[in-house]
């Protein structure tokens, strides 16, 4: 399907919904905004243009049609949430530019890298350590860890041919599946997580701070990290089990890197300081965005990054544009009463059903419809607030719904070879076939859902969150 065809489909769907009769309970401007939002989401899925461009066009159309005022349409770009995630992209650039991310990964592997299973855990732990300050899963898994994993695979004589299963296939899947878990563990470890928090606040009136997110994910996340690499080791085992050279290779790479540079030391200080301030926000009165802005200032003042580096962070600026646009559109639907009406309407469909059953059904549908999405952002924008509102209308606890769908929004990533940002890089390496990828993705997604739904919900109950 070429770009013109995709564009025509998006426009046609928007126009059809715009002129369709709407329920009397829904105001005309709310229905028209719904048409724009559906067309925008379809544009995010089909991508006739890049995500940022599609979202920006959606906001512009809302202004041109007077569905939203200019002030309301641009309000999303001043939202603290998007500036938090933008700053996290800048922090990530510091990890990459100074080489600290690579150093951390090699350091962990130098301790545990004497077997393929231990290296698998080392890969995931490396991802976990850098994830709070690196919201781009593509940068973490694809930019920092993938070259390391590829080098370790080649050192074992495992290439994307007849030798792929010696170790490389297992390493690549562990990298991919582990990245899914680390994405879910911090508000700042996946680009759309702050968007989820914003939807939860606006639609469910549930506030998910950086600290609450990290605390809620702690136990189920650690359980997943402990079990998923071992599960892969059993159902998709590497031919090579022991790898005594792994530690030596990592130590040799560390020797090549030499002592920590000035820039790395600054990044470590800023990273630790940011984590402390994020975790103590309730005591200091500093919100997460303020801390992130401060961290970027320190990077620039101490010349870890130049201002040109900040300007060159295309991923961060792109995210700011599309996230600001989506916050505007989604917030408009809520403000105009469309979400409230839909939740009430949908509540009738689940009337008489136990909220536990209703939430379980909605969760499974939410996760496994990711087969139809190539973007977590598009999926979250399309379904998170709506599905959550329906579950709450069925009397499910609001905080439980918000957290369960928030974490599921990350855990659904691995079911396909196009389900998330690092997928093209890892799948493109050629170590894992599509059939293997889909089979393993289905199994691990089901396992993670079970862990987070059971262990997670009990943990959140102990914490008094619901």
Q: Give the residue among 457, 446, 462, 415 at the shortest CA–CA distance from 227.
A: 446
pLDDT band at 94 (very low <50, low <70, confident <90, very high): confident
* More confidently predicted of 34 and 425: 34
Kindly state the average pLDDT of the residues 438-451.
Answer: 95
Record the pTM.
0.76
In angstroms, rounded to a whole number, what is the distance separating the alpha carbons of residues 76 and 332? 10
Per-residue confidence (pLDDT) for residue 343, from 0 to 100: 67
Which one has a higher pLDDT value, 272 or 323?
272
Alpha-carbon torsion angle 269, 271, 275, 277, nearest 10:
60
What lies within 8 Å, CB to CB, of 22 at 6+ separation is: 28, 31
Both structure tokens of 360: 């379980």
Angle between helices 210-235 and 434-450 (to 10 degrees): 130
Residue 340 confidence class, pLDDT cut points 50, 70, 90: confident
**pLDDT level of residue 351 (50, 70, 90 thresholds):** low
């Amino acid at each position: 399907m070429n770009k013109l065809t995709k564009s025509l489909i998006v426009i046609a769907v928007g126009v059809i919904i715009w002129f369709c009769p709407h329920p009397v309970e829904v105001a005309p401007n709310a229905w028209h905004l719904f048409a724009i939002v559906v067309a925008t989401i379809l544009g995010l899925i089909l991508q006739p243009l890049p995500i940022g461009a599609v979202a920006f066009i959606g906001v512009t159309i809302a202004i041109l049609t007077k569905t939203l005022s200019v002030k309301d349409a641009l309000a999303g770009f001043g939202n603290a949430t998007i500036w938090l995630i933008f700053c996290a992209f800048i922090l990530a650039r510091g990890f990459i530019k100074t080489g600290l991310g690579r150093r951390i990964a090699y350091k962990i592997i130098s301790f545990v890298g004497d077997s393929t299973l231990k290296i698998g855990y080392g890969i995931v732990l490396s991802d976990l350590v850098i994830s709070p300050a690196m919201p781009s899963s593509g940068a973490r898994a694809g930019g920092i860890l993938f070259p390391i994993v590829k080098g370790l695979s080649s050192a074992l004589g495992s290439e994307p041919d007849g030798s792929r299963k010696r170790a490389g296939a297992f390493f690549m899947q562990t990298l991919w599946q582990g990245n899914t878990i680390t994405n879910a563990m911090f508000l700042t470890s996946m680009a759309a997580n702050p968007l989820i928090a914003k939807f939860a606040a606006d639609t469910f009136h549930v506030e998910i701070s950086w600290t609450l997110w990290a605390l809620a994910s702690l136990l189920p996340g650690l359980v997943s990290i402990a079990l998923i690499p071992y599960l892969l080791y059993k159902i998709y085992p590497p031919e090579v089990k022991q790898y005594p050279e792994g530690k030596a290779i990592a130590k040799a790479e560390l020797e090549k890197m030499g002592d920590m540079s000035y820039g790395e030391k600054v990044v470590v200080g800023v990273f630790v300081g940011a984590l402390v301030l994020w975790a103590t926000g309730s005591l200091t009165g500093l919100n997460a965005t303020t801390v992130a802005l401060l961290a970027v200032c320190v990077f620039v003042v101490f010349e870890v990054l130049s201002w040109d580096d900040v300007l060159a962070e295309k991923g961060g600026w792109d995210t700011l544009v599309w996230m600001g646009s989506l916050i505007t559109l989604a917030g408009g639907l809520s403000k105009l009463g469309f979400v409230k009406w839909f939740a009430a309407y949908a509540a009738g469909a689940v009337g008489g059903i136990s909220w536990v059953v209703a939430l379980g059904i909605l969760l499974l549908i939410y996760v496994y419809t990711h087969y139809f999405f190539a973007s977590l952002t598009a999926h979250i924008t399309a379904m998170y607030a709506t599905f959550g509102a329906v579950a709450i209308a069925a009397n499910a606890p609001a905080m439980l719904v918000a957290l369960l769908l928030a974490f599921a929004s990350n855990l659904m990533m691995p079911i396909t070879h196009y389900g998330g940002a690092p997928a093209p890089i890892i799948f493109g390496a050629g170590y894992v076939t599509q059939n293997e990828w889909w089979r393993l993705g289905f199994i691990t997604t089901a396992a993670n859902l079970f862990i987070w739904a059971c262990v997670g919900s009990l943990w959140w109950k102990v914490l008094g969150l619901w």
